[in-house]
Amino acid sequence: MRRWRNLTSPKTIFAISQLGATNAWLLGTSEGLWRYTAGDGACEPIAEPLKGTLLTAVAAHGDAASESAGSLILVGASDGIAYSSDGGASWTAGALREPAQIAHIVLSPDFDRDGIAFAATTGHGLLRSTDRGQSWVYRNFGLPDHEVTAVALSPMFAVDGMLFVAVTGGLFYSLNRGESWRLSPIEPEALPLAGIAFARSVLIVGSETRGLYHSTNRGVNWHKRSAFSSGPISALAVSPDETRIAVATPMVVALSSDYGETWERTEGRMPRDPLALWVGDDGTILCGTQRDGLWIYG
């Protein structure tokens, strides 16, 4: 039977990104960049130049722990973004117009071809890069405020150019890769939002106070889920094959394999105060917490 187990170091984990198809993950933490490897259960710091740096976002492409062609690591901190293409041995600052505190970094599903990435900031809106993280520009036309709490790209982004962002004042979508934004009609009581996730034809968002909402028509209409119908949602994650959804509250982590219709609560002593969530195709879950390290369910 599956149970949670805990690795207490590092204590605070803000972001989790899998290293390609490997059994390893990068962790953005209050103590720099760490790598967790399944099997041996090792969790260790990497990227000596970032040692001790508070990293609030991380995204990896390819086998980014090596120097293989096309591999890339992007990290976000309180003052901007940096990238590495040699497994973290060396880093270059991404070019930003001004320093910005980064909350999330997401890569295009077609990153190999288009090199597009987005970064959510806590006060400057949404940043977009079209050159694999080397330079960044703001894409805020139509957004009423610039505190971005969540961002998600359509699985068909290469075709439809669609993405959603949650800001303090609402949920917005773009059909032109972030060039302009339109309001999505979710009820005002749902705001602010703590997460957005695409699972094939279903779009799910988590409210900081009113549970889960879902849409089956790309945000045209929204409905509350019967499970998690109230209270705070801390984090959402969708598996790479988009068949499993994980949701975390301050006290519970649960898993759905039917696009959020029903939920199975995970077993055993659970992580508290989750900040970051990752879920695999087989239902394995990684959860980064505020003060209690990394938790693994599997």
Per-residue model confidence (pLDDT) at position 21? 79
| Region label for 4, one of left (φ > 0), alpha (ψ between -120 and 50) or beta (otherwise) | beta
Task: Please state, in angstroms and rounded to a whole number, the distance separating the CA atoms of residues 277 and 4.
Answer: 14
Instruction: Work out the number of other CB atoms within 10 angstroms of the CB of residue 223.
Output: 10
**pLDDT value at residue 268:** 86
- pLDDT, position 240: 94
Task: Kindly give the parts of the chain with pLDDT less than 50.
Answer: none
Q: Is 293 left (phi over 0), alpha (psi -120 to 50) or beta?
A: left
Identify the pLDDT of residue 68: 57
- What pLDDT score does 220 carry? 95
Half-sphere exposure (CA, 13 Å, Cβ side) for 67? 4
CA distances (Å), origin 57, targets 33, 44, 119, 150: 10, 17, 9, 12
Q: Give the DSSP per-residue string, the chain.
A: ---EEEE-SSS-EEEEEE-TTSSEEEEEETTEEEEEETTTTEEEE--GGGTT----EEEEESSTTTT-TT-EEEEEETTEEEEESSTTSS-EEPB-SS---EEEEEE-TTHHHH--EEEEESSS-EEEESSTTSB-EE--TT-S---EEEEEE-TTHHHH--EEEEETTEEEEESSTTSS-EEE---GGGPSEEEEEEETTEEEEEESSB-EEEESSTTSS-EE-STT-SB---EEEE-TTS--EEEE-SS-EEEESSTTSS-EEPPSSPPSSEEEEEE-TTS-EEEEESSS-EEEE-
pLDDT at res. 227: 82
Q: Could you report the per-residue pLDDT of 180-238, keeping only the tens digit for each?
A: 999 999 999 999 999 999 999 899 999 999 999 999 999 999 998 888 877 899 999 99
Domain residue spans in the chain?
Answer: 193-217+231-298
Tell me the CATH number of domain 193-217+231-298, given options 3.40.50, 2.30.30, 3.30.70, 2.40.10.
Answer: 2.40.10
